[in-house]
Amino acid sequence: MILKGEFTGEEKRTFNLHLGYSVIEGIILGVLALNEFVFIKSLQGTNYQLGILFQFSMVVFLFLFFINEFIKRSNNKKRLLRFTGIATRGPLFLLLFFPASDQALSGTSVYHYLFLLIFLVYYFGNTVIYPLINLFLKKNYRHEKFGSLYGYATSVNKVVMLFATFLYGILLDMDHHAYRYVFPFAAVLGVISVFLLSLIHFEEAVKTRIKSFSESVINSTKTMVAILRGNKPYLHFEGGFMLYGFSFMITVTVITIFFERALHLNYTSVAFYKNAYNILAIVLLPFTGRLLGKIDPRQFAMITFGSLLFFILFVMLTEYYPVHYEVAGIEIYPMLMIAYLFYGVFAATMALLWFIGSAYFCKPEEAGDYQSVHLFLTAGRALFAPLLGVFFYEMAGFTFTFSLAIVSLLPAVMLMIWSYKRDHPSASKTPKLTDQ
């Protein structure tokens, strides 16, 4: 895709590589979109194992204290990216050797733990890839173009993800062990996508580290703390994210259990609902990308957190109004349709806010540090929230768990409103936040 308009040559080249990466990652994310449902339905994993599977996707960012310093010391960040791609995407190939037998996977199967280990390694790669994506793009995209260019690439990513999820869902209904040969294919694609990302131009003078690694890690910790203490708008932003993240994490696993144990949905139906929200997200992303470039991220977060609140509310109502219709093998629940309309808004905004929202509070060269703080805090809540959600469900049921998430989202929205009004009590224009 060739950009038209007021873009520099380097922005166009970077965008084309970013777009290629986004297309391939869209296929992989389309497969991963059904991963938790595959684990509980096809591999017959337990509720707590399902919670751990989601937990792994986030808790790995606790290691950012060490990895952030390791990235800074790397003299060749492109080579680091390539090595990470091979080492963390390659193990997906091992799923080819899983048995296509329900009996072999029942009970406390060793394959459950091997599956969890493979994805722990996969998600660990994101601790290197995500900060470097932000760093590479921030170096090549101008601040005023950052949100829109990222939004365009993410829109394409969502389109590809939509088709991949739908086809994968149909394939799983035909053969619920199809993941055995789909993931090896995803392993190859994952390596290719990271190699594409590594082709983005990036030059940085790596300073010689006089201090030891341990001393540097301590300094990195102090830097993270200093960022939160010294940048109050960013501290409030992350405070809202902590409340939002608790709500999201205690419900994400429980909603998967709800689909399987309460609604008994098939793979095609789950893929349909995931695609429904993706379609809306695709339509909205170009607009939300431009919007993020014009307004304060805390204002943007109000929309994100509020839309998730209504999504959880209508999912909860599905248990009390379970009226549904079957169309071409897809079970249509009106309440779920309304819920996923709100989730489409959430997806279109969170896709930008989570990955690049923190970059709006800092200078370009600080983007990596700020994203590291963001990811570390994400990992902190992932230590307890997913398993706590399963505990609440098994102790008190779906309604209690969903209600608790809604109650947590309300102060997240209020904090964003208060923080923005505190800094701009009578502002008619949104100030830039790059000079905190």
Instruction: Pick the more confident residue, 227 or 143.
Output: 227
Please state, as a whole number, how many other Cβ atoms lie within 10 Å of the Cβ of residue 175.
Answer: 12
Residue range 199-245, pLDDT digits in tens: 888 776 655 555 666 776 677 778 778 888 888 888 888 888 889 98
Its sign, for the CA torsion 106, 109, 113, 118, is negative
pLDDT class of 420 with cuts at 50, 70, 90? confident
Q: What is the pLDDT of residue 210?
A: 58
User: What end-to-end distance do the CA atoms of the chain give, in Å?
Assistant: 35
Residue range 156-172, pLDDT digits in tens: 888 898 899 989 999 99
Asked if 56 and 116 count as a contact pair (C-beta separation under 8 A), the reply is: yes
Instruction: Pick the more confident residue, 396 or 11.
Output: 396
Q: What is the pLDDT of residue 435?
A: 42
Average pLDDT over all residues of the chain:
84
pLDDT mean over 160-189: 92
Residue 432 has pLDDT above 50, yes or no: no
pLDDT mean over 254-275: 90
- Nearest-angstrom CA–CA distance, 163 and 30: 8
Instruction: Pick the more confident residue, 14 or 250.
Output: 250
175 DSSP 8-state letter = -
Q: What is the pLDDT of residue 132?
A: 84
Q: Which of 317, 311, 386, 322 is nearest to 350 (CA)?
A: 311
pTM listed for this prediction: 0.78
For the ranges 173-182, 321-330, 350-359, the lowest mean pLDDT is seen at 350-359
> For residue 226, what are its two tokens?
């200093």
pLDDT mean over 392-419: 92
Residue range 13-44, pLDDT digits in tens: 888 888 899 999 999 999 998 999 889 888 88
